[in-house]
Amino acid sequence: MLNFSASEENYLKTIFHLQTKDNNVTTNELAERLHTRPASITDMMKKLKTRKLVNYQPYQGFRLTLEGKKAALNIIRRHRLWEYFLASKLKFNWDEVHEVAEQLEHVSNKKLIDKLDEYLAYPKFDPHGDPIPDTHGKMETSKQISLAELHLNRRARICYVANQSELLLEHLHEKKIKIGALVIVKRKFSYDDSLEIKLDNKPALTISGQLAKNVFVRHG
């Protein structure tokens, strides 16, 4: 595994998070996410291309090569292991760990990370409910469950919406419920199966049992 600068690592990691099966990442998208200017993205893409970490053709966007993906998973592994350490050992709140892990993830020493993993007893998920890649880049693809099935106080992420009718999508928009949001079920009312949930740590809101059955999450 080669060595990357902190900047290169942040680019690789962020491209990984933005790219999907069928869509390349665009220059503006990445610039916004990294709080830099589009010109800087182009500069770095040229560099990462010569290092064979991204596939990139001018004006066509870019995506990680296999090499690039391996590197990104390694950085994500470090980030999430440190987040787990901060929460479980140092008693940080789960919403304070990200900022610190952003720095710790760039300390590159394989033995350090593997020993940390061992010390933490090989955790499978970070404090946000995101899966932690192992040494080989493999990670849990926790099965999807509906919000109705999610246990109380377990963090999960919204990943899918079933039965995507106009009305349902509109309703989700109203309630500001989005794919990728962090969700915690705080109370369950068996009277009508309604739920009190928290989204991205914002004030609680109540949703109907019907809605809960159509919103799917991963890891709870």
Q: Which one, 107 or 169, has the nearer CB to a second copy?
A: 107
Least distance from a second copy to the Cβ atom of residue 94, Å: 14
The 105-144 contact track toward Mn ion, x by CB under 5 A, reads: ---------------------x-x-x--------------
Least distance from a second copy to the Cβ atom of residue 66, Å: 27
Least distance from Mn ion to the Cβ atom of residue 122, Å: 17
Residue 115 interacts, among a second copy, Mn ion, DNA, none and using kind-specific CB cut-offs from 5 to 8 Å, with a second copy
**Residues 45 to 64 in contact with DNA, rule: CB under 7 A:** 45-47, 56, 58-61
Dist. CA 198–CA 214, nearest whole Å: 17
**What tokens does 86 get?**
């901060």
Binding status of residue 9 toward Mn ion by CB under 5 A? no
Dist. CA 77–CA 100, nearest whole Å: 15
**Whose structure tokens read 């300390």?**
107
Site stretch for DNA (CB under 7 A), options 3-11, 89-97, 133-141, 209-217? 3-11
Least distance from Mn ion to the Cβ atom of residue 184, Å: 15
Residue 104 interacts, among a second copy, Mn ion, DNA, none and using kind-specific CB cut-offs from 5 to 8 Å, with a second copy
Q: Which one, 34 or 205, has the nearer CB to Mn ion?
A: 34
Residue 91 interacts, among Mn ion, DNA, a second copy, none and using kind-specific CB cut-offs from 5 to 8 Å, with a second copy
Binding status of residue 218 toward Mn ion by CB under 5 A? no
Question: Please, are residues 185 and 197 in contact by the beta-carbon 8 Å criterion?
Answer: yes
Tell me the number of residues near DNA by CB under 7 A.
27
Binding status of residue 123 toward DNA by CB under 7 A? no
- Quickly list DSSP for the chain: -----HHHHHHHHHHHHH--SS-PBPHHHHHHHTTS-HHHHHHHHHHHHHTTSEEE-TTS-EEE-HHHHHHHHHHHHHHHHHHHHHHHTS---TTTHHHHHHHHTT---HHHHHHHHHHTT--SB-TTSPBPP-TTS----PPEEEGGGPPBT--EEEEEESS--HHHHHHHHHHT--TT-EEEEEEEETTTTEEEEEETTPSPEEE-HHHHHHEEEE--
Can you give the binding site for DNA, defined by CB under 7 A? Answer: 5-8, 10, 26-29, 35-47, 56, 58-61
Can you give the binding site for Mn ion, defined by CB under 5 A? Answer: 79, 83, 98, 126, 128, 130
